[in-house]
């Protein structure tokens, strides 16, 4: 199926690893122009060195919590490609701490990342998206937004707020022809889980360790997901093919969600 991404321009935040990286590569393969950013520009450029479609890629250093840095990235992408058709708000992570170990600084940092990391790119991109014939925003979220995890209390709460914000934006921006959707992730092996495995000093293989966690969390498919399994869903939501889809959440979670 032709996703009609050829020649269109998209910004993906957090493109140096995991889902952001996989999404950038897929969009390039579909013939899109792509801008991406990360805090470490050297690492970002290194992972795309020699990648197919590299000449259609704009990279920049950016902390998405800094509005001026975000605006510079979007201005640079617009100068390079002439506009912007879509935005993937992907930058972020998870904070593995139960409530009784969380400080107020932890709360502030988590909420700042989850909200500023979306609001800054959206505000900067909005004039360009309004000028697009097929504008779309995809916010990367998690099933934690609806199915909170006590070991991830700050992330669960922030994710719930972001889900609500995404719905609000879908209603607000609909009259401008801008669609806003969310992708809710389950446990995806994007590097964080590999690090946790290494830090655990578990003598078993990663596969055995992963299977036990999948069973404990109730993942129907019995394993973690992979970034390349998430990227096509993001690409579809960005695509003009999904022109009548807005305000919704697509779960890519291996069956871990228990809500209806």
Return the residue matching tokens 């032709």.
Answer: 2
Residue 124 CB contacts under 8 Å (≥ 6 apart), including other chains: 67, 70, 71, 73, 74, 75
DSSP letter at 97 equals B
List the chain pLDDT tens, one digit each, 260 residues.
Answer: 899 999 999 999 999 999 999 999 999 999 999 999 999 999 999 999 999 999 999 999 999 999 999 999 999 999 999 999 999 999 777 777 778 788 999 889 899 999 999 999 999 999 999 999 999 999 999 999 999 988 889 999 999 999 999 999 999 999 999 999 999 999 999 877 888 899 988 899 999 999 999 999 999 999 999 999 999 999 999 999 999 999 999 999 999 999 98
Tell me the β-bridge partners of 38.
61
Element (H, E) at 42: helix 41-47
For the whole model, what pTM was predicted? Answer: 0.95
CA dist 133 → 12, 150, 223, 233 (Å): 19, 43, 39, 21
Phi-psi map region of 82: left, alpha, beta (phi>0 left; psi -120 to 50 alpha):
left
Residue 75: φ, ψ to 5°? -65, -40
Tell me the β-bridge partners of 60.
37
């Amino acid at each position: 199926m032709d996703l009609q991404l050829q020649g269109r321009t998209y910004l993906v935040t957090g493109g140096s690893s995991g889902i952001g990286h996989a999404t950038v590569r897929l969009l390039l393969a579909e013939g899109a122009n792509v801008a991406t950013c990360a805090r470490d520009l050297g690492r970002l450029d290194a992972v795309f060195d020699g990648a197919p479609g590299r000449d259609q890629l704009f990279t920049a250093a950016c902390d998405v919590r800094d509005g001026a840095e975000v605006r510079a990235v979007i201005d640079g992408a617009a100068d390079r490609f002439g506009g912007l058709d879509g935005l993937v708000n992907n930058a972020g992570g998870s904070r593995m701490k139960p409530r009784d170990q969380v400080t107020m600084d932890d709360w502030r940092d988590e909420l700042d990342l989850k909200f500023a990391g979306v609001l800054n790119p959206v505000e900067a991109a909005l004039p360009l998206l309004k000028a697009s014939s097929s504008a779309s925003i995809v916010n990367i979220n998690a099933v934690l937004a609806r199915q909170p995890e006590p070991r991830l209390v700050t992330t669960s709460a922030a994710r719930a707020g972001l889900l609500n914000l995404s719905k609000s934006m879908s209603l607000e921006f609909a009259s401008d022809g801008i669609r806003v959707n969310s992708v809710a992730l389950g446990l995806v092996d994007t590097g964080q889980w590999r690090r946790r495995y290494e830090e655990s000093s578990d003598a078993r293989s990663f596969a055995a360790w992963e299977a036990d966690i999948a069973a404990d969390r109730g993942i129907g498919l019995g394993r973690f997901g992979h970034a390349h399994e998430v990227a096509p869903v993001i690409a579809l939501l960005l695509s003009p093919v999904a022109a009548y889809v807005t305000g919704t959440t697509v779960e890519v979670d291996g069956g871990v969600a228990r809500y209806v």
